[in-house]
């Protein structure tokens, strides 16, 4: 009789544990992760093209993109409202579901109108501010009516849990920008000066994203139209079966047409976004607070230390936020299920996402730091070695904050209370800005990284506590999977 090999048994047990851990990762998240890797790859290529022109040019570009992100997040509530309405209809019979096409059309019209309003404001700012990059905001004003179409239109696919068209829309924007930059570089033979480089980069950015936005809106409308036709057919089939059953039971004729009309989703009162404008506005405010939470330190560095310091610090922020690749992919893939009307299902999906996000980012953080020590100076130049110390300060907070996206989805999509997400982001923002006003003037970008990391850490602890209270779960649910199983 052979003697058992303890080492072999240990390897087998570890192999089974690894398989179980891998099985917990949603398959849709892997596709979204692949898409995000392509987005990051294109973004890093753009960063390399810009950053090699010097930290000052990189700083101007980073601030311009931050302003654009503020615009997109301010009006992001339209798309998330649409996603919530669609995801909340899960499990309902076809006759009780609202048609997607009229809802999508109404929010797209609203996005165009708000974009035109934003364009007027951006033009005024561009003409009143004389320093880079704010003097170039007129470019963003020209594109503003179109830029809002992407986060609005993709709400359709987010609510349906359909990752392929959502991923395609997200990847297309940076790829089109990169192609535009490479084309401009080819025709100018790489002979850029600092000011023209900024202008060329910004033109390629807004034109590429505007083109993708229009195509995304068209694709979403066609998709919504097709799904609405299918929904009508399903409702009519269901009403026919019900009418036939009643006819059989009653032994008398039934007016099928009236039964069809009664069951058709066209008979339901239409959902109109302006009837829930407070909810949409709350989402926008919460998302702006979240974005400021991520970018306020960049503006502080530019204010106290100048555009060049902001350029090196922006690289540290970009690298640190690579940790959120998987966490974002997991949240997006589970967004529809996190919004499920059943609290048990929604909380189970949220805990599952938080568990994956925290473990993966904590493991990846030291690996990312080691890779950045070699890759950043090699790819961008010796000037960007100054970004490594702020990066080390940012990573602990960024890793911990990976859970924020899933918790925010629970607050917004399931509870319908985006104010909770906004309150958490506001707390983190207040802490990081208050500390930053002290640390940035004294220690520059490193102080910004420390203050941001502290703000993230405090806020995520509170965010998880609020989630547990709402879900009725114990603290140990994070590391005890059996507490959230069916």
Instruction: Note the pLDDT of residue 155.
Output: 79
H helix runs in 251-306, sequence order: 256-263, 277-305
Cis omega (within 30 of 0) for bond into 133: yes
Angstrom distances, CA of residue 180 to CA of 63, 109, 431, 446: 20, 28, 39, 34
Residue 237's pLDDT band, with cuts at 50, 70 and 90, is low
Go through the chain and tell me how many residues it has.
486
Q: Which residue has the higher pLDDT, 266 or 174?
A: 174
The proportion of the chain whose per-residue pLDDT surpasses 70, expressed as a percent, equals 74
Please say if the pLDDT value at position 433 is more than 80. yes
Distances (CA, A) of 255 to 86, 218, 263: 31, 39, 13
When pLDDT is cut at 50, 70 and 90, the band that residue 250 belongs to is low
- Find the mean pLDDT for residues 449-476: 86
Phi, psi at residue 472, to the nearest 5°? 70, 35
- Rg value, the chain, Cα: 25
What mean pLDDT do residues 424-436 have? 89
Residues 6+ apart with CB under 8 A from 187: none
Report domain extents, the chain. Answer: 25-268, 279-486
- Mean pLDDT value across the chain: 75
The residue-averaged pLDDT of 268-284 equals: 69
Q: In the prediction, which pLDDT does 33 show?
A: 64
Dist. CA 48–CA 186, nearest whole Å? 16
pLDDT: is 236 or 439 the higher one?
439
User: What is the rounded average pLDDT of the residues 6-10?
Assistant: 47
252-256, long-range: CB < 8 A, 24+ apart: none
Is the pLDDT assigned to residue 12 strictly greater than 50?
A: no
pLDDT in the model for residue 409: 80
What are the two backbone dihedrals, phi and then psi, of residue 75, each rounded to the nearest 5 degrees?
Answer: -110, 20
Q: What is the pLDDT of residue 484?
A: 56
Q: Is the dihedral of CA 363, 364, 367, 369 positive or negative?
A: negative
Whether the pLDDT of residue 273 is over 70: the answer is no
pLDDT at 17 over 50: no
Q: CA angle 424-337-428, nearest 5°?
A: 10
Scan for tokens 């891998």, then name that residue.
22
378, 340 contact by CB (below 8 A): no
pTM: 0.63
Main-chain phi, psi angles of 394, to 5 degrees: -75, -35
Kindly tell me if the per-residue pLDDT of 20 is higher than 70.
Answer: no
Give how far the C-alpha of residue 189 lies from the chain's centroid of Cα atoms, to the nearest Å. Answer: 36
* Residue that is written with structure tokens 């100076």 in the block: 377
Mean predicted confidence (pLDDT) in 422-435: 88
pLDDT of residue 294: 74
**pLDDT of res. 45:** 81
What is the distance between the alpha carbons of residues 409 and 389, in angstroms, rounded to a whole number? Answer: 32
- Lowest mean pLDDT of 107-116, 165-174, 273-282, 400-409, name the range: 273-282
Q: What angle do CA 60, 62, 68 make, to 5 degrees?
A: 105
Asked whether residue 252 carries a pLDDT value surpassing 90, the answer given is no
Give the tens place of pLDDT for each residue, 222-236: 887 776 666 666 655
Higher pLDDT: 54 or 243? It is 54
Q: What is the pLDDT of residues 55-94, one digit of tens each?
A: 877 787 788 788 887 777 777 777 777 877 777 666 555 4
Distance CA 119, CA 3 (A): 77
Cα-Cα-Cα-Cα dihedral sign, residues 119, 123, 124, 128: positive
**Rounded to the nearest 5 degrees, what angle is found at the Cα of 456, between the Cα atoms of 326 and 386?**
85
Q: Pick 279 or 27 by higher pLDDT.
A: 279
Residue 401 is given by DSSP the state: G
- The helix/strand/coil state of 443 is helix
Could you tell me which residues come within 8 angstroms of residue 374 by beta carbon, excluding any fewer than 6 positions away?
none
DSSP structural state of residue 270? P
Mean pLDDT across 115-127:
86
269 confidence band (pLDDT: 50, 70, 90): low
List the structure tokens of 467. 């989630």
CA 381, chain centre distance (Å): 30
C-beta separation of 35 from 167 below 8 A: yes
131/27 Cα distance (integer angstroms): 47
**Residues 78, 280: contact at Cβ < 8 Å?**
yes
Q: What is the pLDDT of residue 229?
A: 64
Lowest mean pLDDT among 1-10, 206-215, 298-307, 310-319: 1-10
DSSP 342: S
The residue that leads in pLDDT, 474 or 302, is: 302
Closest by CA to 34, choosing from 412, 328, 391, 373, is: 328
pLDDT (tens digit per residue) in 336-382: 677 777 777 788 888 888 888 888 888 888 999 999 998 888 888 88
| Position with higher pLDDT, 483 vs 34 | 34
Whole-number Å distance between alpha carbons of 137 and 151: 20
Highest mean pLDDT among 38-52, 175-189, 255-269: 38-52
Span 8-24, average pLDDT: 45
Please check whether residue 405 is in contact with residue 324, taking contact to mean a CB–CB distance below 8 angstroms: yes
Half-sphere exposure of 360 (CA within 13 A, CB side): 22
Cα separation of 400 and 369, whole Å?
15
What is the pLDDT, as a whole number, of residue 271?
62
């Amino acid at each position: 009789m052979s003697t058992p090999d303890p080492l072999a048994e240990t390897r087998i047990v570890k192999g089974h544990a690894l398989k179980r851990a891998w099985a917990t990762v949603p398959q849709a998240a892997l596709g979204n992760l692949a898409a995000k890797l392509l987005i990051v790859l294109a973004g890093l290529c753009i960063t390399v093209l810009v950053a090699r022109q010097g930290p000052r040019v990189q700083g101007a570009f980073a601030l311009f993109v931050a302003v654009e992100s503020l615009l997109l997040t301010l009006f992001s509530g339209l798309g998330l409202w649409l996603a919530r309405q669609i995801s909340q209809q899960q499990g309902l019979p076809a006759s009780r579901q609202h048609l997607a096409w009229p809802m999508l059309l109404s929010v797209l019209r609203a996005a165009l109108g708000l974009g035109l309003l934003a364009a007027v404001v951006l033009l005024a700012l561009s003409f009143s501010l004389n320093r880079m990059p704010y003097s170039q905001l007129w470019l963003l004003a020209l594109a503003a009516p179109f830029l809002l179409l992407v986060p609005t239109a993709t709400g359709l696919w987010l609510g349906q849990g359909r990752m392929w068209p959502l991923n395609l829309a997200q990847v297309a924007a940076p790829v089109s920008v990169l192609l535009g930059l490479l084309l401009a570089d080819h025709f100018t033979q790489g002979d850029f000066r600092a000011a023209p480089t900024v202008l060329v980069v910004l033109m390629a950015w807004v034109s590429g994203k505007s083109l993708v936005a229009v195509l995304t809106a068209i694709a979403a409308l066609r998709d919504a139209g097709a799904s609405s036709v299918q929904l009508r057919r399903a409702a009519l089939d269901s009403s026919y079966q019900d009418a036939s059953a009643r006819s059989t039971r009653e032994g008398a004729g039934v007016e099928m047409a009236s039964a069809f009309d009664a069951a058709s989703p066209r008979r339901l009162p239409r959902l109109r976004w302006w009837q829930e404008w407070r909810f949409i506005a709350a989402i926008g405010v919460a998302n702006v607070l979240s974005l400021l939470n991520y970018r306020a330190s960049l503006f502080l560095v530019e204010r106290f230390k100048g555009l060049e310091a902001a350029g090196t610090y922006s690289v540290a922020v970009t690298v640190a936020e690579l940790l959120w690749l998987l966490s974002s992919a997991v949240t997006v893939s589970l967004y529809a299920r996190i919004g499920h009307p059943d609290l048990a299902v929604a909380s189970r999906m949220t805990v599952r996402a938080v568990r994956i996000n925290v473990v993966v980012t904590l493991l990846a953080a030291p690996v990312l730091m080691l890779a950045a020590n070699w890759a950043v100076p090699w790819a961008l130049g010796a000037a960007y070695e100054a970004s490594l110390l702020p990066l080390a300060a940012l990573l602990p907070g960024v890793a911990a904050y990976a859970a924020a996206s899933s918790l925010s989805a629970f607050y917004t999509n399931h509870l319908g209370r985006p104010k909770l997400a906004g309150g958490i982001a506001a707390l983190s923002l207040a802490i990081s800005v208050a500390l930053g006003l002290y640390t940035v003037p004294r220690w520059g970008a490193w102080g910004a990284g420390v203050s941001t990391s502290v703000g993230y850490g405090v806020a995520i602890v509170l965010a998880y506590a609020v989630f547990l209270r709402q879900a009725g779960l114990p603290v140990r649910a994070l590391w005890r999977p059996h507490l959230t199983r069916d």
